[in-house]
Structures are given as C-alpha cells and as structure tokens.
Amino acid sequence: MFPIIDIGPLAFQAGGMIQILSLLFGLWFTLRFANNMGTNGDAIENNLLLGLLMGIVGARLGFLLQNPSIMADNPLSIISFTPTMLDIPFGLLAGALVIYVSFQRSHLPLWPTLDTLSPLVILLFAGAHLANFATGNNFGLPTTLPWGVSLWNATRHPVQIYALILSAALLIWLLIRTRFLKYTNNHHSGLIFTQTLAGLALITVVTRALVADKAPLLGLDLIQAIAWIVLLASLGLLYWFQYGKPNHIRVFLSLGSNRNPREQTYKASQDIAKFAKILNRSSLYETADIRPNHAGETYINRVLEVETDLSYPELIERTKAIESNHGRQLDDKEDVPMDIDILTYGNQVFVMPSGSAIPRQGLTKHRYVALPLAEIAPDFRHPATGTAIEDILKHLDEQEQPVQKITEVENGT
C-alpha cells in the first residue's frame, strides 16, 4: 500500500495521481487511434474533458445539495480542492450526461467514437485497479499463496494487481490487433469497443470472486452478476456485428473516367444497377487534368447513391470487376477508362492494412467527389467525424483544379 507518493518536498495522493496518469496515457492512445481511423479526435478529447470537469463539479454540487447545512456554514467549501465531499454516483451521472449531450451536439457517430475510445477505457479500468492497490481499497481475500500481500491485518490476494495484469494483457491484445492503433482490422464499426467491453466484463467476473468485500444480492455478488450480463450483451452484439446479413446498406460510389468519359460513366451506372438499387445519381462534373503532360484533357466524375445487400468485400469485388471490364489497368495512371471508389458503406468506419478505408479519404480531399455528393445528399454527414458535407466543401482547397457541373441528371441513364 502506498497512498502517498513523495516527490522531493511534495506529497501526492497516489490514487488521484494514478487516475490522472491513466487518463493522460489513455487520451494519447485514443488521439493516435482517432488520427489513424479518421475520427474526430479533438472533438472527442474536448468533450471528454468537459464531461470530466462537469462530473467533478457535479459530484461536489450533489454532495452539497444533499447537505445544505455545509453551504450555510461555509459557502467557500464549494470550491475547496479536496478529494472529499464528493457524491460519486451523482458526479458520474452528471459527467455521463454532459458527455452524451456534447457528443450529440458535435454529431459524433456512436460506434466509431466508442471504438476510438477503447484504449482509453482499458487504461482507465487498469488505472482504477492500480489506484485501489495504492490506497488499499477493494482488497482481496486472505490467502496462503506465496505472492499474497500484507494488508489490513492479513496476507491477502493482490486482487487489484490480478485485474491490472489482465487489463494490461487486454491492452496488449488491442495494440497487436490494431497494429499499434493503425488499423481497425475489421469491416464493422463497434467491434473493437464491444470486444474491449467483453474483455473488461470477463476480467471483472473472474477477479471479483477474490475481492473480500462483496455486494451480496440474492446470494450472488451484485458486481459480478452485472459484469456477467455485460459479457452476455457484448457477445450478443459481437454476433450481430459479425454474422448479421447486410440489409439495404446505403452506399455512395464515386465514378471517374478520362477515356470516353461520358459513355463509360453511363455504362458503369448500368453495370452497377445489376447488383445494387440506384437511389440517386448526381450530374456529371468535368475536371481539368492538371498533370503537366495532360493539358486540355478532362476527367468526368459522378456520385451515385445506391442500396445493396452485398457485404463490403463482395461490393469491392463487383466494382473492381466493372473497372476491369471497362479496360482499366491498375498500374496505368494515364489512362483511366473507369474508376469506381466506394466512398461510404452504411455508417461504417474502418481502416484495413490493405489500404482500403471507409469512408474513403477522397471524400474530404477532392471537390470533384464532394461537390456531386453534396448535390444528391445535401444533408450528408461524414460517418467518421460527423462533419456536414457543406463544411467539408468549405474546407476544401479553393485552389484545386476547377470542377464544373456539365449536365443535369438525365432520366433512365
């Protein structure tokens, strides 16, 4: 037990310091993951810190509201910087509410945001157990095992350390699985978070058995029972995410061509209609080719909104087949008879080691993609960041080659 850490002349409450450190490390991991996944790390971080602040303020206010005599005696106690006089459940509720509302206001999408937060969640969990070890809270049952620790008049299971080691293993698994937070390595948002949740629930189920002070309810330990229900729910979600059949998935496709572009674009649209229901098609947009040896040449682009029951890998296969039927050579950057990019696939956000990423980066990089998209889906929001299409367009470099709308959409093509 080491409730106080002395650094030179300063003494720190070990529990609080460990919690703050785990928050900082967790945020660092989460920002890295956000950066690689394309989610809005800054908004996530700001909203979390706001929630943390409001949680602390809420915990103090909750305590004072329940004990109004303190305020009457000493109004300054509301701002005293001490870790007491906090109503923790009230603070958690206030913090969670603020985070929920501010995430909604920033239009942060649920599952991609939770995926991004996974490393932070694991670190906070591990930090809480290490903090408990430092303060001697949540201590274990007595044991005769050689690694027992002497605490509160007995040699006890270092159960907080068991949980710490298991959550460290979970973090290492997450880092390996994502190749140090570079890829989501799956085709479904929410998988990483749900797997994390299942891992933490399992750790709680296992280690709670050795905790000395249980929360008895109907002969069982309440915390353990809740953790088991969380495990059940997260395995159910995992099943649904991984094996649920794709059903009426909305997909935005970007078509581009620089060889007989009009003809190619019309024909590709017809090919796509064979496996996906076309809901909307944009006008054709003409873009000058700005490469030095292509003066005077133009690209034609269009965006289609389609609905499909194909999985992402199946859809990729079909679009690649159309590209090659149109004579596309992947190593030929000069001649592009037909290029089909999957801009979005439902609300999914993922990055694969193969380089394919949904939503596709071009969506926020090129006016010849964003402009036709805005035409057919003016209410579109980026599935990873929640940014509105009009804001994406505003941020696109005005200096990029001019994009011109050349035809209105024609019926039946």
Partner 1 sequence: MRKSTFLIFAGGLLLASLAWVILTPVLFPFAQSADKAVAAHPGFQAPGFSLETPAGDIVSLSDHNGQPVLVFLWASWCPICKGAMPDLETVYQDYADQGFEILAVDMAFQDTLSTAIEYFQTEAYSYTMLIDRDGQMAQDYQMHGLPTSILVGPDGTVLDVTIGSGMSAGYLSVQLDQVFAIAEGE
Q: Which residues bind partner 1 (CB under 8 A)?
A: 1-4, 11, 13, 63, 67, 69-70, 73-74, 77, 80, 82-85, 136, 139, 141-142, 152-154, 202, 205-206, 208-210, 212-214, 216, 219-221, 224-225, 228, 231-232, 235, 238-239, 242-243
Pairing verdict, β 220-221 and 249-257: unpaired
Cα separation, 122 vs 197, whole angstroms: 9
Please identify, using beta-carbon distances, which residue of 231 and 376 lies nearer to partner 1.
231
Nearer to partner 1, 147 or 239 (CB): 239
Amino acid identity at 273: A
Spatial distance between the Cα atoms of 148 and 398, rounded to a whole number of angstroms: 66
Q: Which is nearer to partner 1, 194 or 364 (CB)?
A: 194
In a 13 Å sphere around the CA of 116, the CA atoms on its Cβ side amount to 28
Residue pair 270/219 in contact (Cβ under 8 Å)? The answer is no
Spatial separation of the C-alpha atoms in residues 95 and 84, rounded to whole Å: 18
* Burial environment of residue 211 by CB neighbours within 10 A (0 to 12, 13 to 18, 19 or more): buried
In the complex, the smallest distance separating the C-beta of residue 205 from partner 1, rounded to whole angstroms, is 5
Closer by beta carbon to partner 1, 213 or else 332: 213
The count of other CB atoms within 10 Å of the CB of residue 172 is: 11
For the bound state, the minimum distance from the C-beta of residue 248 to partner 1, rounded and expressed in Å, comes to 22
When the beta carbons of 166 and 322 are compared against partner 1, the nearer one is: 166
> Smaller CB distance to partner 1: residue 150 or 411?
150
Name the minimum Å distance from CB 227 to partner 1.
8
The three-point CA angle 253-283-312 to 5° equals: 5
Write the single-letter amino acid at 31.
L
- Nearer of residues 197 and 377 to partner 1, judged by Cβ: 197
Least CB distance from residue 74 to partner 1, whole Å? 6
- For residue 351 the two structure tokens come to 């990055």
Whether the bond between 359 and the residue before it is cis, its omega within 30 degrees of 0, is: yes
The CB-of-312 to partner 1 minimum distance in angstroms stands at 17
- The least CB distance from residue 183 to partner 1, in Å, is 18
- Shortest distance, position 255 Cβ to partner 1, whole Å: 35
**Beta-ladder partners of 407:** 284
Nearer to partner 1, 73 or 379 (CB): 73
| CA–CA distance, 377 with 228 (Å, rounded to integer) | 43
CB of 355 to partner 1, least distance (A): 23
DSSP alpha helices (H): ranges in 244-388?
261-273, 312-325, 362-365, 367-376
Residue listed under structure tokens 């939770």: 114
